[in-house]
Structure 1
């Protein structure tokens, strides 16, 4: 391990958290609702401690006159420690989430001081007036719905190609959130965010402007059970139809990465190349009696997508401009078994990126032993790739969430 001091600090902090149980009023929640809850003796804070991890096995083949070049792997896809509660007042909530697996920490560079990226979320949420809540810290930006859905609550093994190509992920900054009722059942939710625009855990290299994101959601039939508009599958078997419609627009001023605040930095002879990047998201979630349907559309554009040196010559880097469409549905055959299907299309601007369209078709099967808290999921995907060899991918994953 390259960073034993930081690793030991994390481990020591976890041990101290467990040892502190004896000094606090505690109660053990039901499975899937955290390892334990803490309540300060003077009732000035609460803390719920949670743990989860996913074990993933994959097999992949190239499709060239049959199957060839087989590859297989097993990994701990995600491993997370979660802490949340309130401090001083129930109106001031917090969330801290640490990622411990290799995939959780990947992406370190000179702009993260060559350190692993343990921190996923570290955010305060202040309900300062009525339905207004101010978030401050590092967390997911209000972009596409599929990205905001926790990886613990996904309908299939992992998110779609649309999310991997277009999501705006996490960043550090402020978010203002509000909701109101148009009628007894019609709810409107609004979010406005200002972020650094470079992604999570960036310590230097913020050479551009800021990132501005606005999202509006419409729930004409009221709230979903147990916040089901941000969970895969209709495990609550909604008695009445529930629908959520969302639109989000993201503008990253003088962005220096190939995918807004994601992807790799675009460098030129003077340092960084930057351009204005905008991304539009449209999405919907529908659930009723075990049936669910989610749709998403993404469109990324840039003012000048081709990175250039000071003399106008091209560097070879470019913004990944284009569109994505994801359609996903599932049906629960029983309270614990679900079949699902997904179609994803990615169409990048070939004149800029040199890449053609991708179409991916996925069939999934899930066994919910204890809802999303303990489940086994498998899926099979065929990807028709216009600019390289087609692929077949099989995945099997076990997910446990305390």
Structure 2
């Protein structure tokens, strides 16, 4: 990490020495500069989230809490040679940010989130090459720094298809006032930073979005809350279908590797469907998402490297969130999420969900936007109504700081 920061500092100092100006730099817009020959453009953003989480078990009244640096990101984007050849690099440096990737990557850090080249080769067309987010559910594609509540929903944490490596083909067209956007992706299928040989097949993702009333201001269909206070109703409807051929991980691109009795990776096909919508108008915002994941071919279970039985995570979930942003940039928000993992037949007469506990979650939040999503304070509380485990109350507080 020290080497990485040192290299970053050298790059910054070198670039500043030859930069023409900082025109366009500012909070939320990062530090922007360009060499005298205009051979490239660089925007550097840094942000981190300081988070508090408390959990109250409503059965035994036990309370647990923790402070953490939820995320710490370095992001670089810009273009090379001309604006039609863009790039994005994003690094995750906090331990919490990398989650359980240590155990999934031979105890090595998984720092690289995005490393992708973007080529605008014709009007309305782009080709992306590298590693970045797949065009899955809307909430996952929205940046973690631009969320309406403290963190993403249970639907996202259980069903999202995250990031992968490969090719993305984007197209956007305007039909009168309506905007239609399509994307196709062909990727490795087992997630970011995996270095092993792809022996089982690829992942195929397709998404279409329709904005019947035209585009949102400042790409508002992909950030939480109506910070731009849309003067006219704006709506975006999206559908994604993902088919992952021969994956070995519990959630396709995420989770533990599942092994057979011989210790070899199993290869099952996972099919995932997402449907979502975003609506904004004069401070009001509503977002809906649906997710459904199933094993389309192959076994549904196996073992992990420690000998524990593991299942591919399948089921369905619904998520609705809505809120209102007052003129003093205080937002009141709410969320309802229902997760129904697949029930498994454990004997001849009994079927139950052993993949995960079914639950319904109700959440209320309050946010103060000091400088948009770049500098904000958010608090929320949630009630977890769980089917077979103790119900819980959750308490969150978070400050987002960046430039």
Give the TM bin, normalised by the shorter chain: over 0.9
Structure-1 residue corresponding to 2:349: none
Structure-1 residue corresponding to 2:258: 266
Per-residue CA deviations over 1:323-345 (Å, capped at 9, x if unaligned) read 01000001012241010000000
Structure-1 residue corresponding to 2:240: 248
Structure 2: segments with no counterpart, 5+ residues:
346-352
TM-score (norm 1): 0.93
Select 1:340's aligned residue among 302, 315, 333. 333
Alignment of 1:169-318 (within 5 A): 169-183=162-176, 185-204=177-196, 206-270=198-262, 271-302=264-295, 303-308=297-302, 316-318=309-311
Structure-2 residue corresponding to 1:121: 114
Q: Is structure 2 residue 13 aligned with structure 1 residue 12? A: no
Per-residue CA deviations over 1:130-163 (Å, capped at 9, x if unaligned) read 2110000000000000000001110000000000
Q: Is structure 2 residue 33 aligned with structure 1 residue 38? A: yes
RMSD of the alignment, in Å? 1.6
Per-residue CA deviations over 1:155-190 (Å, capped at 9, x if unaligned) read 00000000000000011111000011222x101000
Which portions of structure 1, spanning 4 or more consecutive aligned residues, are displaced by more than 6 angstroms? none
Quick one: distance in 1 between partners of 2:256 and 2:140? 19
TM-score (norm 2): 0.93
Alignment of 1:90-129 (within 5 A): 90-109=83-102, 112-129=105-122
SS of the aligned residue for 2:101 comes to: coil
Structure-2 residue corresponding to 1:327: 320
Change (3 A) 1:346 1:32: same
Structure 1: segments with no counterpart, 5+ residues:
1-6
Instruction: After TM superposition, give the deviation of residue 85 of structure 1 in Å.
Output: 0.3
Structure-2 residue corresponding to 1:151: 144
Whether the 8 Å contact between 1:376 and 1:397 is mirrored in structure 2 is: yes
Per-residue CA deviations over 1:172-215 (Å, capped at 9, x if unaligned) read 111000011222x1010000000111111111164421000000
Structure-1 residue corresponding to 2:350: none
Change (3 A) 1:363 1:87: same
Instruction: After TM superposition, give the deviation of residue 393 of structure 1 in Å.
Output: 0.4
Quick one: distance in 2 between partners of 1:26 and 1:399? 28
Structure-2 residue corresponding to 1:398: 399
How many residue pairs align between the two structures?
388
Instruction: After TM superposition, give the deviation of residue 308 of structure 1 in Å.
Output: 4.9
SS of the aligned residue for 2:226 comes to: coil
Instruction: After TM superposition, give the deviation of residue 258 of structure 1 in Å.
Output: 1.2
